[in-house]
């Protein structure tokens, strides 16, 4: 009897942690990329402040049978077994990256995968409204008696909110604004307006910006040009966003992406061959009336892929927490109440299951990571009352 009990306990311990995930098969099965006959087009719309609806249009070319869709985001969240329409809540204004991986079976009956990514920029709560395709917004500026007077070109349009950003840290409301400046500039003056279409009753948003300068004929390059860029990554994919300031001057861009690839686009997505740390440099040249000659400056930043991981920093009961990140042979996981009694799955960035654990209870669980290959993964908790995920790294 004692031997049978011991054998039963041994079998149960194997079920608690196995490197073969539910459904059987090896932990990691290489999946070749699908060819270009499988086309994925992504678009998005903001439906609530920072809540984005993503839409995927998938053309199989008549050759592929779709098996699964996995959405991934640079904030560490992933949605497995997703659909072509997906909602995602971003934390606030900023530049983000959303990716969709499609697993499909080709005409040769072999599984393949294709990933397409979409850069997303959220400016603020006004991005809730769609852009006004047919409406017009502009303003004029006149200087007299030490003040600039900014006036809406068409005050009769049905705007219900007019907000001025005067470029020096001050703001104002209304169709006409008088403002004195302490210096000569240049200042970027922006007018944002919300408009109600009287026929459809839809609300849309407009913004127009003009540079204002009231000084000498030319100024130093340091006042004309400020080079800057932002980036967001998911797996081997990185979205690059040019955020440089050129004071309204004509300009050109040159990106050196650190892997022998270059670009001249202000916004694009690049796929790196391997996860590593890359030195990315952006060179901007600006010219025009503000500068005596062409101004040029370069900014370089290190973009690490797989070396850092997003881990939730909000310590409440609805988040899954894992530490240390990166880890070696062992990782501690704090399990929220909603997931106690459920299971944990470790997935690679293509959504493939690597390991699976079945905690019996309690809020703290210790994971054996010694058999997991080095890399970046998503740890997913599944319970009767919800699902949570967090990105982790195995050194």
- Model confidence band, residue 154 (pLDDT cutoffs 50, 70, 90): confident
- Model confidence band, residue 268 (pLDDT cutoffs 50, 70, 90): very high
Tokens of 271: 């796929």
Of 165, 233, 232, 235, nearest to 193 by C-alpha is 165
Answer yes or no: are the C-beta atoms of 270 and 261 closer than 8 Å.
yes
* Side-by-side strand order, sheet with 171-173: 130-131, 203-212, 187-196, 159-165, 171-173
With a pLDDT cut of 90, the percent of the chain lying above it is 37
Q: Is 311 helix (H, G, I), strand (E, B) or coil?
A: coil
pLDDT of residue 97: 95
- Model confidence band, residue 21 (pLDDT cutoffs 50, 70, 90): low
Give the pLDDT mean for 268-274: 94
* Cα gap 252→297, rounded to integer Å: 11
Domains and CATH numbers, the chain: 32-122 (2.60.40.10), 130-212 (2.60.40.10), 221-304 (2.60.40.10), 308-394 (2.60.40.3080)
Answer yes or no: are the C-beta atoms of 72 and 78 closer than 8 Å.
yes
Is the pLDDT confidence value at 104 over 90? Answer: yes
Q: How far is CA 35 from CA 32, 110, 172, 359, 373, in A?
A: 9, 12, 53, 40, 27
The 8-class DSSP code of residue 257 comes to -
Answer yes or no: are the C-beta atoms of 41 and 29 closer than 8 Å.
no
Tokens of 352: 């493939």
Is the pLDDT confidence value at 155 over 70? Answer: no
Is the pLDDT confidence value at 42 over 50? Answer: yes
Tokens of 390: 């967090």
Is the pLDDT confidence value at 307 over 50? Answer: no
| Higher per-residue pLDDT: 302 or 315 | 302
- Please tell me the least confidently modeled range out of 149-163, 250-264, 340-354: 340-354
Q: What is the tens place of the pLDDT at every residue in 344-376?
A: 888 776 566 788 777 545 567 788 888 888 877
- Please tell me the least confidently modeled range out of 17-26, 258-267, 347-356, 386-395: 17-26
| Higher per-residue pLDDT: 24 or 364 | 364
* Cα gap 182→171, rounded to integer Å: 15
Tokens of 101: 């991986």
Answer yes or no: are the C-beta atoms of 41 and 102 closer than 8 Å.
no
* Cα gap 114→32, rounded to integer Å: 9
Q: Give me the residues paired with residue 202 across strands.
A: none
pLDDT of residue 306: 61
Q: Give me the residues paired with residue 116 across strands.
A: 100
- Model confidence band, residue 133 (pLDDT cutoffs 50, 70, 90): low
pLDDT of residue 132: 65
- Model confidence band, residue 251 (pLDDT cutoffs 50, 70, 90): very high
Q: Is 151 helix (H, G, I), strand (E, B) or coil?
A: strand
- Please tell me the least confidently modeled range out of 33-47, 277-291, 337-351: 337-351
Tokens of 181: 């400046």
- Model confidence band, residue 120 (pLDDT cutoffs 50, 70, 90): very high
CB within 8 A of 12, min separation 6: which ones?
none
Q: How far is CA 205 from CA 25, 201, 254, in A?
A: 52, 13, 32
- Please tell me the least confidently modeled range out of 32-36, 312-316, 361-365, 369-373: 312-316
- Residues 196-205, buried b or exposed e (16+ Cβ, 10 A)? eeeeeeeebb
CB atoms within 10 A of CB 125: 14
In this structure, which long-range contacts are made by residues 87-92, counting pairs with CB atoms below 8 Å and at least 24 apart in sequence?
87/47, 87/51, 87/52, 87/53, 87/54, 88/51, 88/52, 88/54, 89/50, 89/51, 89/52, 90/50, 90/51, 90/52, 90/120, 90/122, 91/50, 92/50, 92/122
Q: What is the tens place of the pLDDT at every residue in 59-75?
A: 998 889 999 899 988 87
Q: What is the tens place of the pLDDT at every residue in 163-204?
A: 999 999 999 999 999 999 998 889 999 998 887 766 666 677
- The secondary structure of 208-235 as a DSSP string is EEEEE--S-S---HHHH-B--EEEEEET
- Model confidence band, residue 388 (pLDDT cutoffs 50, 70, 90): confident
Give the pLDDT mean for 269-293: 90
- Mean pLDDT, the chain, whole residue set: 80
Is the pLDDT confidence value at 297 over 90? Answer: yes
> CA gyration radius for the chain?
26
Give the pLDDT mean for 142-153: 91
Is the pLDDT confidence value at 379 over 90? Answer: no
pLDDT of residue 351: 63
pLDDT of residue 134: 64
With a pLDDT cut of 70, the percent of the chain lying above it is 79
């Amino acid at each position: 009897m004692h031997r049978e009990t011991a054998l039963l306990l041994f079998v149960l311990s194997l079920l608690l942690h196995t490197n073969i995930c539910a459904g059987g098969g090896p932990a990691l099965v290489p999946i070749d990329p699908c060819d270009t006959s499988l086309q994925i087009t992504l678009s998005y719309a903001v439906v609530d402040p920072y809540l984005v609806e993503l839409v995927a249009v998938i053309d199989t070319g008549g050759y592929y049978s779709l098996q699964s869709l996995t959405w991934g985001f640079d904030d560490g969240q992933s949605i497995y077994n997703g659909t072509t329409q997906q909602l995602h809540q971003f934390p606030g204004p900023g530049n983000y990256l959303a990716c969709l991986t499609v697993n499909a079976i080709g005409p040769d009956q072999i599984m393949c995968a294709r990933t397409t990514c979409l850069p997303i920029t959220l400016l603020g709560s006004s991005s809730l409204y769609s852009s006004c395709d047919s409406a017009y917004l502009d303003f004029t500026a006149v200087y007299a008696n030490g003040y600039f007077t900014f006036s809406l070109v068409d005050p009769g349009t049905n705007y219900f909110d007019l907000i001025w950003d005067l470029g020096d840290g001050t703001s104002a409301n209304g169709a006409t604004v008088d403002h004195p400046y302490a210096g000569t500039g240049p200042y970027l003056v922006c007018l944002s307006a919300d408009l109600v279409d009287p026929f459809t009753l839809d609300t849309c948003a407009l913004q127009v910006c003009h540079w204002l300068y009231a000084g000498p004929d030319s100024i130093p390059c340091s006042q004309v040009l400020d080079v800057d860029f932002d980036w967001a990554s998911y797996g081997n994919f990185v979205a690059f966003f040019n955020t440089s300031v050129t004071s309204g001057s004509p300009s050109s861009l040159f990106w050196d992406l650190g892997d022998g690839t270059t670009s001249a686009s202000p916004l694009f997505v690049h796929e790196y061959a391997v996860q590593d740390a890359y030195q990315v440099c952006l060179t901007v040249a600006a010219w025009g009336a503000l500068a005596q000659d062409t101004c040029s400056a370069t900014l370089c930043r290190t973009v690490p892929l797989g070396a850092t991981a997003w881990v939730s920093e909000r310590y409440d009961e609805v988040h899954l927490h894992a530490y240390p990140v990166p880890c070696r042979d062992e990782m501690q996981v704090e399990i929220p109440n909603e997931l106690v009694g459920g299971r944990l799955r470790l997935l690679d960035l293509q959504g493939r299951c690597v390991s699976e654990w079945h905690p019996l209870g309690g809020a703290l669980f210790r994971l054996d990571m010694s058999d997991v290959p080095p890399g970046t993964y998503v740890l997913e908790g599944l319970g009767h009352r919800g699902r949570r995920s967090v990105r982790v790294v195995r050194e």
